[in-house]
Amino acid sequence: MSKIRVLPDHVSNQIAAGEVVERPASVAKELVENSIDAGATRITIEIEAGGRRLLKVSDDGEGMVHDDAILAFERHATSKIRGSDDLNAIATLGFRGEALASIASVAKVELTTQTAGSNAATRVTIDGGRMRDVKDAAHPLGTTIIVRDLFFNVPARRKFLRSEATETFHLTNLVTHYALAHPEIAFTFSNNGREVLHAGVAKDLRERAYQIFGSDFLDNLLEVDGGHPQVAHISGYVSAPRDRRTSRDSQFLFVNRRFVRDRLIGRALSEGYRSVLPHGVYPAALLFIETPLEEVDVNVHPAKTEVRFRRAAAVADAVRESVRNALASAGFVREEPEPISTAHQQAESAAVGASVGGPEFKSITADVATVKSAAEPDPLKREFNLRPDYQSPPQSKIDFASLMSSVEEALAEEADPETPGRGDAETLGHGDTGTGGDGDTVTRGHGDMEMDDVAASLRPPVAASPRPPLSASALSRVPASGLPPFNSAEKFARPVAPESLSANIRPLGQLEESFIIATDDEGLLLIDQHVAHERVLFDKYRALESERRSESQQLLVPETFDLTPAQAAVFDDLAPELERYGFELMRLSGRTVAIKATPADLPASEARNMLAELLDTVDAEKKNAAHDTLRDEIAASLACHAAIKVNMPLAPEKMRWLIDRLLQTSSPTTCPHGRPVILRLKTRDILKGFHRI
Ligand code: ADP
Ligand code: MG
């Protein structure tokens, strides 16, 4: 007897639903995409109980005639493609014709729709894939779909749903994405009867981003516009390097206005930030990639959140270069690294070693031409050209703060280490765990770890990574009792914008033997001596490396050290890269390595630490990252270990030397790890503080 049978429709639909419908946000995604494809100018999304109890999407699109409203729930029923040829150039968001069938197989669905030509609207009711009722109804032009009791007939799936707050967050995130991608459509989103987002038709992305995030967010963004229309045109906004996030959750990436999670683009974006942001720290981004339709295959995954580019490398180049150019035009990096003259190198080598406080005085007047004048207007302000009425916070801004506080409450309740973790890449209902293209170091361990990241992404950017601690005595000095508390300078001292730096910086002394106190035309400056030197050395190493002229110092007695098995696994790949920087390494028997020479500036005592640290952080993923990225990592690590430390007295000449060198670097205000190098307290703020103005 034969044993194979064709499954009934409602069973195969449920199986398909496993891929398309993972959580309420994936249902919303399909419905919103359908509304956009139907040419809607207004889309309203309402949810209750995190979308489990109710999820309603209304639009004013073209609607469906009576027969289509019924057909729409058949599997592979679509109006968007006709044959396989159409798969090569898909212009609509949908095309698989399985979303409505899948959703209707795992929920109670009611669809009401009206086209321009018909007398009455049609209402179709389907429960768990079974058609219950079709009748005439009243509805304005467009379509409303109500999805109730998601997974009512699939208890196993229901169990996987997260707390209401988590599901609500994913829904909010989803609506945010589509609202950003379609400023020409008005979006309204309400949760349990309360309106969370109301964005009217906007004239462009900037206005839409303002409606959603407010002007603070916008003020800190840099505009991206680059690439090539035949391959990929790149537009949108990215954050300045000082904005640091520990996850990619603030990255909104779109391909032909389709919301995607793409490792290639994510990685190329990070590479655009090479030398100003380290691995494991991410910029915020709203990036739109427009390619000719035939350049991209969107039929890669049922949830359509992955795409495949025909010329992937060219797209990645376009993203990286466009982002780099945006950083360069805002002054965060220089277009071309300045070749460093031999004289400078010698001065550096001599100065960096033990000779702190030595006589390497150099005038800072020589190279001022490379520093932009302070009078130049802020390119950001000019770029955004904010209208005066943009100054007050908009009404329609998503109330993220209250949303997130409810998420955090839910987290506290839900924390349950027994539950196995599910990665955040499942946001839209599929298991692409690969968001961490280039060495995501964020651990997504257990329970709702994902929500910690999500919450963090909406809070202000993270604080700087740990730095060498100040001496205990410096920190424990208690202010003399009896004095009234001073006003904190925190809100006055700000990281310095690169274009406001002039060469007219005069060092006055040191604070805690760690920060150089200086003045310039605008006020008082504090320069972190360690990170300033790190920036100087980083640029130097990168320049030397690209000219293949690294300088070594031979060790009298080679240092040996033993690799852990994990370190040994990456050592052979990393060694040639390290040798470009002046290391001479020899693998002895087994996992023992001898260091025979180190880069000129690196104290021998630091070499071992640095190697161990690098071998630990460069994992298999990064090894395969672009060479430039890996070299940046090595240069940054070298710079950090060779740089003068905090708690080190500096002679006045040494301070001037450091400031002089710093001003010539590619990015004097940001260290290779993205931290600020200089803080400024403006004379104006000092005057205000003393109530003189
Ligand atoms: P797909 O979007 O892949 O075509 P769906 O199952 O999502 O498949 O939808 C099936 C069809 O139903 C669509 O091709 C479209 O013709 C119609 N449809 C769905 N939603 C709407 C809507 N909101 N407005 C008008 N037509 C719709
Ligand atoms: Mg669809």
Neighbours of 556 (CB within 10 A): 6
**pLDDT of amino acid 362:** 32
Please state the atom number of ligand 1 nearest to the C-alpha of residue 101: 6
Which helix (DSSP H) or strand (DSSP E) does residue 519 occupy? strand 515-520
Q: Distance, CA 116 to ligand 2 centroid (Å)?
A: 21
Contacts of 612 (CB under 8 A, 6+ apart): 561, 567
* Ligand 1 pocket member 59 (CB < 6 A): yes
Decide: 143 in ligand 1 pocket, CB within 6 A: yes
Amino acid, single-letter form, for residue 118: S
Ligand lying closest to the C-alpha of residue 16: 1
Which pLDDT value is given to residue 365?
Answer: 30
CA distance 220 to 378: 12
- Ligand 2 centroid to Cα of residue 28, in Å, is 10
- Nearest to residue 191, comparing CAs of 173, 179, 218? 173
| Model pLDDT, residue 624 | 57
Q: Which atom of ligand 1 is nearest to the CA of 102?
A: 6
Q: Which residue's CA is minimally distant from atom 18 of ligand 1?
A: 34
The protein residue whose alpha carbon is closest to atom 27 in ligand 1 is 34
| DSSP per position, 377-407 | PPHHHHHH---GGGSSPPTT---HHHHHHHH
Q: How far is the CA of 58 from the centre of ligand 2 (A)?
A: 14
The residue count of the chain comes to 693
Determine which residue's CA is closest to atom 16 belonging to ligand 1: 79
Q: Which atom of ligand 1 is nearest to the CA of 99?
A: 6
Atom of ligand 1 nearest to the CA of 95: 3
Distance 542 CA to ligand 2 centre (A): 49
Check pocket membership of 69 for ligand 1, CB cut-off 6 A.
no
| Cβ–ligand 1 contact at 446 (below 6 Å) | no
Q: In what order do the strands lie in the sheet with 494-495?
A: 494-495, 678-682, 523-528, 515-520, 506-511
Which residue's CA is the nearest one to ligand 1's atom 2? 94
End-to-end CA distance of the chain: 96
Compute, in angstroms, the gap from residue 98 CA to the centroid of ligand 2: 7
CA of 67 to the centre of ligand 1 (A): 13
H helical segments located in 258-391: 263-272, 312-329, 342-352, 379-384
Ligand nearest, relative to CA of residue 64: 1
What is the atom index within ligand 1 of the atom nearest the CA of 30?
Answer: 7
Question: Which of 27, 32, 34 is the pocket-test mutation for ligand 1 (most atoms within 8 Å of CB)?
Answer: 34
Structure-token match 């410096």, residue found: 474
Does the CB atom of residue 34 touch ligand 1 within 6 A?
A: yes
How many CB atoms neighbour CB 97 within 10 A? 17
Taking the CA of 145 as reference, the closest ligand is 1
Q: Is 668 in the pocket of ligand 1 (CB under 6 A)?
A: no
The reply to whether ligand 1 has any atom less than 6 angstroms from the CB of 240 is no
Atom from ligand 1 closest to the CA of residue 63: 25
User: For the purposes of burial, counting CB atoms within 10 Å of the CB of 142, is it exposed (0-12), middle (13-18) or buried (19 or more)?
Assistant: buried
Taking alpha carbons only, the member of 158, 288, 159, 169 closest to residue 234 is 288
Q: Could you give the CA distance from residue 334 to residue 300 in angstroms, rounded to a whole number?
A: 39
- Give the ligand at the shortest distance from the Cα of 102: 1
Instruction: Report pLDDT for 647.
Output: 82
Which segments in the chain show pLDDT lower than 50?
A: 336-486, 488
Contact in structure between 366 and 565 (CB atoms under 8 Å): no
pLDDT in the model for residue 83: 80
Distance 82 CA to ligand 1 centre (A): 14
Give which of 443, 447, 454 is closest to 414, Cα–Cα: 447
Residue 99, ligand 1, Cβ within 6 A: yes
Q: Which residue has the tokens 């964020």?
A: 442
Best residue among 100, 114, 146 to mutate for probing ligand 1's pocket (most ligand atoms within 8 Å of CB) is: 100
φ/ψ of residue 214, rounded to 5: 90, 175
pLDDT score, position 335:
64
Distance from Cα 519 to the centre of ligand 2, integer Å? 61
Residue 581 in tokens: 């920087």
> How many angstroms is it from 29 CA to the middle of ligand 1?
12
The reply to whether ligand 1 has any atom less than 6 angstroms from the CB of 100 is yes
- Ligand 1 contact, 520 CB (< 6 A): no
Q: Is residue 62 lining ligand 1, measured as CB closer than 6 Å?
A: yes
Residue 164: CB partners within 8 Å, gap ≥ 6? 49, 50, 52, 410
DSSP 3-state assignment of 263? Answer: helix
Residue 648: Cβ-neighbour burial (10 angstroms; 0-12, 13-18, 19+): middle
Model pLDDT, residue 9: 79
pLDDT at 325: 93
Task: Point out the ligand nearest to the CA of residue 95.
Answer: 1
Report the distance separating Cα 242 and Cα 467, nearest Å: 16
Please give the distance, rounded to the nearest whole angstrom, from the Cα atom of residue 22 to the centre of ligand 1. Answer: 19
CA–centroid distance, 123 to ligand 2, in Å, is 18
Both tokens assigned to 196: 């969370």
* Residue among 9, 27, 78 to mutate when testing ligand 1 (max atoms within 8 A of CB): 78
- Is ligand 1 within 6 A of the CB of residue 142? no
Cβ of 30 below 6 Å from ligand 1: yes
- Ligand 1: residue of 26, 27, 37 to mutate (most ligand atoms within 8 A of CB) is 37
Pocket of ligand 1 contains residue 36 by CB under 6 Å:
no
Torsion angles phi and psi, residue 602, rounded to 5 = -85, 120
